[in-house]
Each structure stands twice: as structure tokens, then as C-alpha cells.
Amino acid sequence: MIDLWNRVTTNITIATTGIVAKVTSTVSNTPAKFPTVAVEQIDNRDTAMDLENSETAAISVMRIQVFSNKNITEARNISSVICDAMREMGYHRTFGPEPILNEADVSIFRTEMRFQRIVCSLDDIPRFATT
């Protein structure tokens, strides 16, 4: 199975170094550190198989949420950095960044974005260089 979640999460972590306290794969009602980014792979379906029925391409769909306890502007600014990183990885945004009311705690500001791309292998997305 072609699975890009770890590579995307690592690249988002590198791209947001210094502006985000935590990048995680899970969403909780109250993240422990702010600002926090949650990266979830919400779909990874086959899109092409070879003659032996082995997966040769998948459609990767990522949902990324940004949480801030400061203001919506901080969440949107971080979303912009993430959008640039996702585009660099070949993803296109299909939703957002949309401000989402955090009903559990209205003092936490949240944006949600979704990205999609077709990928043939993990090598299609290089790992970002660390500085």
C-alpha cells in the first residue's frame, strides 16, 4: 500500500518549525500545546493497479487542522505556510482554509483544509531538508 501520511506529517513539521508548538496525527478537544497542527490522511484509495493486481497509484487526501489559542489570524497565517508546503509536495487544496467553530472551547481558534493528489510511490514526495 502506498501510504504518504508519515512523509507529509514530517514535511509539515519541518515547514512549520519555529511557528508551531506541535504537529500531531490525532485531534483532541484541547491540544496540550498551542499552536497545534493535526495532519490526518482521510482517504488513500487505489486508483491504478498493474496486471498482478498490485497497487501502482493511490489518491491521497489529507485533512489538516490548525489550532490556536491566540486568534484566528495566527491560525490562518499558519494555514498559509502549510498550503505552500502542500503545494510543494504536489497536493492541491480542495477545501479551506475554513474557520471552524470549536464548540468544546470557543477560546480555541481552528481552521481546516483538505488537500488531494495522485501518487505512485513514496518517492514522489521528497523529504524536506532541515535547516
Determine the pLDDT at residue 131. Answer: 65
In this model, does residue 111 exceed pLDDT 80? yes
- Give the pLDDT band (50/70/90) at residue 40: very high
Domain 5-123 adopts which CATH fold? STM4215-like (3.30.2000)
In this model, does residue 105 exceed pLDDT 70? yes
DSSP 111: E
Determine the pLDDT at residue 46. Answer: 77
- Distance, in Å, from the CA atom of 64 to the CA atom of 14, rounded to the nearest integer, reads 15
Return all residues near 64 (Cβ < 8 A) that are at least 6 apart.
12, 37, 38, 39, 40, 79, 82, 86, 112, 113, 114, 115
What are the domain boundaries of the chain? 5-123
Global pTM exceeds 0.85:
yes
* Helices 5-15/72-88 angle, 10° precision: 120
